[in-house]
Structure 1
Amino acid sequence: MKVTLPYGGEKVSFEVDDDRFVKMYDPVHTPPAPDFAAEIERALDHPVGTPRLEEMITPDMRVNIIVDDGSRPTPIGRILPIVLARLEAIGVRDENICIIVALGSHRHMTAQELAERVGEQVYARYEVVNSEFRDPDKLVFLGKTSDGVDIYAYKRVMEADIRIGIGNLVPHPVMGWSGGGKILYPGVAGEDTVSYFHLKASLYNENLFGNSASPVRTMMEGWVDTIGLDFIVNTVLNSDLEMCHAVAGHYVHAQRAGVELAKHVLGCKVEKRVDVVVVSGYPADQDFWQSPKGMYAAEHALKGGSGGTIVLVSPNYEGVGPHPEFLQMMGRDDGDEIVKGIFDGAPCEGDALAIAVGNSMSKMRRRRRLVVVSNGVSPEEMALCGCRHYPVEALQQAVDDAMAQYPDATVAAVSNGAETFLYQA
C-alpha cells in the first residue's frame, strides 16, 4: 500500500506491503466549532477557575497580553480582536495594552511576521513587541524558587496589572501538554532560568509526551506562581488546524479542562505496537529544534521500552534551529553526569539550554534507533546527534532499510506527529 505524509507544504509517500502495515495513526476528524468567534466568546463568558475579565479588570488598569510565536499554529490573529473588544468595552485605553510575543528561546520575529501573527489592524493600533530572554537589561529578578533558583523574566511582562496568556493545547515532550502557564514559563523567562528548568527536566528518563500528570509541568506551575498569570485563553485545534474548542480562565484549572477536550480531538488509540514508525514532524517542522516532537509522539507506538526504529520526515526549512550545540549533546551518553555537575557547581561550558534538550533527546536515541529524512539538515549534522540521515528523495530507501532490521517487520505511520496523542489500548 501507499502511505502519504506531509512534508511541510508538500506530500511525500512510501510503499509497504499491506500485511506489514498496521495503521495510520491519525485521530478521528473532529469538526471545527461552527462559529469561531462564538466559541471564543463562550469561553470568555464561562471561565474555569476565575471570574470573567469584566469582573477582574477596571478601565485604569494596564494589561499585557502574552501570545505564542509563529512556531505555533494558534490562531492568534482571530482570537486577539475578540479579547481586545472586551477590553475596549471595559474602558481600557489602547496605550495601556501591550501585546508581547513569547519567544521562549526562539529567534525574534520580524516586524512583518509580528503583523501577520497578530493581524495588520491590531499591529497598527496596539504596541506589539518580542519578548527578550538574553539581554540582562531587559530582564527583572522576581525572587527564588523553593529550591533556590533565581527567577528572571522579561521586564515588560511585569509592567502590568493584569496578564492574559493566549496559546494552544497540544502534547509536549517535557510538559506533557502545552498551554496554561507555559506561555510565561518558559515563554517570557530569562535564558538562565529557562536553562535551569530544562536541565532539571532532562534528568527524567521517560517519554512525557501527552502525560497530563507530568512532574515537569507541576514544577513549572510553581514557578509561574512567582511571575503571576491572571487569565488564559487556550484553543484546541484539529489535524487541519481548525479550532474545535476554546477554554479560558485559571492557568491551571482551565488548562486541565482543555487537555481533557484535546485528548478526544488529538488522541489516537494504539491497538498494536510495531517495529517501525514513520512520522511527519508536521506542523512543528520548521527546524530540527521543533520537529523531533514527532519522535516523542511516535515512540508510544513502538514495541517495548527499547528497540524499534523511528523515521522522522520533516523539511526543517531553518536547519538545525537556534541551539545547534544540542546535536553534540544528543550524541553523547554522559549527559546526566554533565547536568548533575552543573548543579553541583561546575561551570556550564556552552549553551545550557542546548545541553538540557540534547540530554533529553539522547535518552530517546539510546532507547530507539532514530532516522531523519530531510533536505534541511545534513548527514554530518545528523551523525553528530546519532541519527541516520536520508534525503527526502530516498524516503522509500529509509523505510526499507529500517524494516530490514527486524524479522517480519511491522510498520505504522503518523501524519501529524507533533500534535498527535498516542495512547495504549
Structure 2
Amino acid sequence: MRVDLLYGKGTLPLDLPDAWDVTVIEKAAMPTLSDPAGAVTEALARPIGAPPLADSAVGAKTACILICDVTRPVPNGLLLPPLVRTLLDAGVPAEGITVLIATGLHRPNLGEERVEVVGDRWVLDTVRVENHDALDDDAHVDLGPTATGTPVRLDRRFVEADIRIATGLVEPHFMAGWSGGRKVIAPGVAHKDTITTFHNHRFMSHPRAVNCVLDGNPLHREQLAIVEKVGGALALNVVIDDRRRPCAVTYGEIVASHLAAVDFVRDYATVPVPRRFRTVVTSAAGYPLDKTYYQTVKGMVGPLDILENGGDLIIASECSEGMGSPAYVEAQRRLLSKGVDGFLEDIARKDFADIDEWQTQMQTRTMRRGRIHLHAPALRDGLALTGVARAPDLAAAVRASVARSGDRAVAVVPEGPYVIPVLAEDAA
C-alpha cells in the first residue's frame, strides 16, 4: 500500500508491502468552511465572552494584533483584513494599529518572509507590521511575577495598546497542550526571562506538559496567569485541516474563545489506537513546520504514546533551513557530549533554561522510549548533531525495523504532530 506523508510543500510517498498490517492514523474528515471570510466576519460580530469588536474598538486610539511567525501555517491573509477594517471603521487610526509578529525567541521574519507571514498586501501597506524581540530589555513592560515566581515581562506595544488581540492556529502542542490563544502572548511576545523560566526543566519535565492536555498543565497555568497580569485580551482563533483549509473560526475573550476552538478540534486531532507498535512512521507536518530540525522534534514526540519500548520511531522532515538556531545547536552538542542522563541532570539545576534547550529536552523523551531514525536528505552537515540515526532511504528504514522486531504491524501518522495517537485505554 502507499501512504503519502506531509513533507515540505508537498508529500513524500511511502510504499509498504500489502501483506503487512499497516495502521494509518489520521483525522476523520473535517468539515471545511464554505465561506471562510464570512465566518471571520460573523465571529467578530458574535464573539464569545466579549462585545463585538466593532463595539470594543469605539474610542480606542491604539490596537495591537499578534500573529504567529513563519513556523505556523496560519491563514493570516484571511484573518487580518477584517480585523484591521473593523478597527478602522470603529475609528482607530491606521497609525495606531500595529501587527506584531509573535516570534518568541525565534528569529525575526523579514523581507519576503514577512510578506508571506502577513498574507495580504493591503494590510502591509495600511498598518505597521513589526517583529517582537525577546532580547530587547527596553521593549518590554515588567508586570511582576506570577504566584509561582515566573517573571512577567511582555512587549510594550501589546501591553500598552487600548485593544489587544491575539490571532493563531489551534492545534496540538507538545508542551502547552494546545497552541493558539494565550500561547501567542507567552511565549509569543514575552521577554527572554519569562520564556526561559517557564520553559525550564521543572516545567518541561512535568507529566502533564504534553500534547492535548490543559488540566494540570503547568505551562498552560502560567500562560493563564500571564494573561491575567496583562489585564486580559481578545483572540481570533482558526482551525485548519491537513490541506490547510479553514474549518472553524472563534473570536472573543482570549481564554473562552480558545477553549471553544479546542473543543472543536480535539476529537479530530486525538485518535484512539488499540495497541502500541514496534515500528512507527511519521512526518514533521510538512511546510512550514519541517523547515528545521528544531521543529521536527514535535513530530518525534507526537506518537510517543503508541511507540513500544525499544521500538523504532522513523520520521521524515525536509529540514530545508538546517538545524535551527545557534543556541539550539549548542544544546544538541551538550546532549551528545553528556548523554541523555547527563544532559537532563545539568539542566535540572537551572532556574532559567538556556535558549532553545527545551527542544533538546523534549527529544530525550522519545530517546528514552526507543530509537529515532531521521529521513532528512537536505540536512547533511547537521545530521551528526541530531543524536539520532540516519535514514537516507525511508522505505528501507521501515523494512529494517520490521525485520529487527519480527512484527509486521506498522503505524503511520502522515500528518505528524497535527494528529496525536493515544492508546484507546488511555482515551477511555
Structure 2-normalised TM-score? 0.91
Match of 1:333 among 325, 341, 350: 341
**Residue in 1 that maps onto 2:105:** 105
**Residue in 2 that maps onto 1:21:** 21
Cα pair distance change 1:404/1:107, threshold 3 Å: same
- Counterpart Cα distance in 2 of 1:408 and 1:216: 38
Q: Equivalences for 1:4-403 in 2 at 5 Å? A: 4-118=4-118, 119-199=120-200, 200-205=202-207, 208-213=210-215, 214-283=217-286, 284-303=289-308, 306-322=309-325, 323-331=328-336, 332-343=340-351, 352-378=354-380, 381-391=382-392, 394-403=393-402
Q: How many residues were matched structurally?
A: 414
Identity rate of aligned residues, in percent? 28
**Residue in 2 that maps onto 1:423:** 422
Cα pair distance change 1:113/1:385, threshold 3 Å: closer
Are the counterparts in 1 of residues 373 and 390 from structure 2 also a CA contact under 8 Å? Answer: yes
Cα pair distance change 1:210/1:330, threshold 3 Å: farther
- Structure 1 ranges of 4+ moved more than 6 A: none
Are the counterparts in 2 of residues 329 and 354 from structure 1 also a CA contact under 8 Å? Answer: no
> In the TM superposition, what whole-angstrom CA distance separates every residue of 1:124-169 from its partner, at most 9, and x where no partner exists?
1111101111122323322112133322222222231121000010
Unaligned runs of 5+ in 2: none
Are the counterparts in 1 of residues 3 and 414 from structure 2 also a CA contact under 8 Å? Answer: no
Structure 1 residue 230, shift from structure 2 partner: 1.5
Q: Which residue identity does 1:170 align to in structure 2?
A: E
Across the aligned residues of Structure 1 and Structure 2, the Cα RMSD in angstroms comes to: 2.1
> In the TM superposition, what whole-angstrom CA distance separates every residue of 1:243-268 from its partner, at most 9, and x where no partner exists?
01011112212111111101234343
Structure 1 residue 319, shift from structure 2 partner: 0.6
Are the counterparts in 2 of residues 330 and 360 from structure 1 also a CA contact under 8 Å? Answer: no
- Counterpart Cα distance in 2 of 1:48 and 1:361: 37
Cα pair distance change 1:60/1:265, threshold 3 Å: same
Cα pair distance change 1:316/1:383, threshold 3 Å: same
- Counterpart Cα distance in 2 of 1:207 and 1:307: 23
Cα pair distance change 1:12/1:113, threshold 3 Å: closer
- Counterpart Cα distance in 2 of 1:218 and 1:7: 33
- Counterpart Cα distance in 1 of 2:77 and 2:91: 22
Aligned partner of residue 342 in structure 1, secondary structure: coil
Structure 1 residue 237, shift from structure 2 partner: 0.3
Structure 1-normalised TM-score? 0.91
332-341 vs 170-179, which deviates more? Answer: 332-341
Q: Which residue identity does 1:412 align to in structure 2?
A: A
Q: Which residue identity does 2:170 align to in structure 1?
A: L
Structure 1 residue 316, shift from structure 2 partner: 0.7
